[in-house]
């Protein structure tokens, strides 16, 4: 059986807190039908020890390669460098502040044995505990994404795609959605893989949450109106989202009910802020400040 050759890409900006562990996990993936040909880390304007740590890991595994952008030009720019340098027929991109299970790469890539499949996306599970408001927010938010992905397709922080696109829009700040739109335009299928599990940490400050939401939603406006791509995820379907909030979250008590109302209110605030950013300011945040509260993952993953 011919293995499915895959290049993994990690876009990194000051990711010293997790990049070493992530590279170790990728090197140790359990693979049967998939071959990881190379792991490209595109380090963009890093001012911490990210580059040194990647070099150290590369000495132990020749598949790991460091690509340096001296100036931070936005994630889309880094992704375009990755696409240009990657040699495999399948590309897989994973966020630097996540941790996949040991079989996540295999599960994300195996669907490409079907030539009609153009893109896959994994199941993101937050490590936040739901006993605080922001932990509840993260849990509900990613459960909602899971439910929407089961009904259609919603790309998350770990995606793979067939190497058939030359670039994404250089100013997009919703890169996975941009990739999905281009893949769909080529007549290929998108597949959600719920058992390809990747852990992340949702924002643990309200300001980080609102910043992330307004950036993503403003980016959808840009994708549709400036990049000329019509695909948008079902998370922009307000009626569906509201229905799922109340059917999926299922508050267990009065406190969770109040929290759920607050989550919906904050999502509405994020949408209003995104509308203001795009319609009034003309901004869709192609280069954004990092959400510091998302950068630490527990050691036992």
Whether 234 has a pLDDT exceeding 80, the answer reads no
In a domain, 301, yes or no: no
From CA 32, how far away is CA 158, in angstroms rounded?
A: 20
Whether 101 has a pLDDT exceeding 90, the answer reads yes
Percent of the chain with pLDDT over 70: 98
Decide: 224 and 182 in contact? Cβ < 8 Å: no
Element (H, E) at 294: none
Nearest 5°: CA angle at 192, between 187 and 193? Answer: 135
Decide: 122 and 159 in contact? Cβ < 8 Å: yes
In a domain, 153, yes or no: yes
Q: Give the tokens for residue 261.
A: 């109302």
From CA 105, how far away is CA 124, in angstroms rounded?
A: 13
Element (H, E) at 221: helix 206-225
Number of domains present in the structure of the chain: 1
Q: Which residues constitute the domain of residue 23?
A: 4-294
Q: Are strands 99-100 and 34-44 parallel, antiparallel or unpaired?
A: unpaired
Provide the CATH number for the domain around residue 266.
3.90.550.10
- pLDDT single digits (tens) 47-94: 999 999 999 999 999 999 999 999 999 999 999 999 999 999 999 999
What DSSP state is assigned to residue 164? -
- pLDDT single digits (tens) 134-165: 999 899 889 988 998 998 888 889 999 999 99
pTM of the model: 0.92
In a domain, 300, yes or no: no
Decide: 288 and 72 in contact? Cβ < 8 Å: no
3-state DSSP assignment of residue 31? coil
From CA 250, how far away is CA 158, in angstroms rounded?
A: 27
In a domain, 93, yes or no: yes
């Amino acid at each position: 059986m011919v293995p499915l050759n895959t290049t993994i890409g990690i876009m990194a900006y000051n990711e010293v807190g997790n990049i070493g562990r992530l590279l170790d996990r990728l090197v140790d993936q359990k693979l049967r039908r998939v071959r990881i040909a190379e792991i490209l880390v595109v380090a963009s304007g890093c001012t911490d020890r990210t580059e040194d740590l990647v070099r150290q890991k590369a000495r132990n595994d020749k598949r790991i390669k460091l690509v340096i952008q001296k100036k931070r030009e936005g994630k889309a720019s880094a992704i375009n460098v990755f696409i240009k340098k990657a040699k495999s027929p399948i590309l897989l991109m994973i966020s630097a502040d996540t941790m996949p299970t040991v079989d996540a790469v295999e599960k994300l890539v195996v669907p490409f044995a079907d030539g009609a499949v153009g893109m896959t996306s994994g199941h993101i599970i937050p490590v936040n505990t739901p006993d605080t408001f922001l932990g509840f927010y993260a849990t509900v938010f990613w459960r909602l994404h899971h439910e929407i992905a089961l009904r259609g397709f919603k790309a998350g922080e770990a995606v793979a795609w067939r190497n058939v696109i030359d670039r994404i829009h250089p100013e997009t700040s919703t890169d996975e959605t941009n990739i999905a739109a281009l893949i769909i335009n080529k007549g290929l299928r998108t597949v959600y893989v719920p058992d390809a599990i990747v852990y992340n940490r949702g924002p643990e400050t309200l300001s980080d949450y609102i910043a992330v939401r307004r950036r993503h939603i403003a980016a959808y406006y840009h994708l549709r109106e400036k990049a000329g791509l019509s695909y948008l995820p079902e998370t922009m379907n307000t009626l569906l989202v509201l229905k799922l909030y109340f059917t999926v979250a299922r508050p267990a008590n009065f406190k969770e009910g109040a929290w759920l109302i607050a989550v919906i209110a904050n999502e509405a605030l994020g949408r209003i802020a995104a509308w203001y950013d795009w319609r009034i300011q003309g901004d869709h945040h192609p280069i954004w400040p990092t959400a510091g509260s998302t950068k630490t993952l527990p050691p036992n993953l």
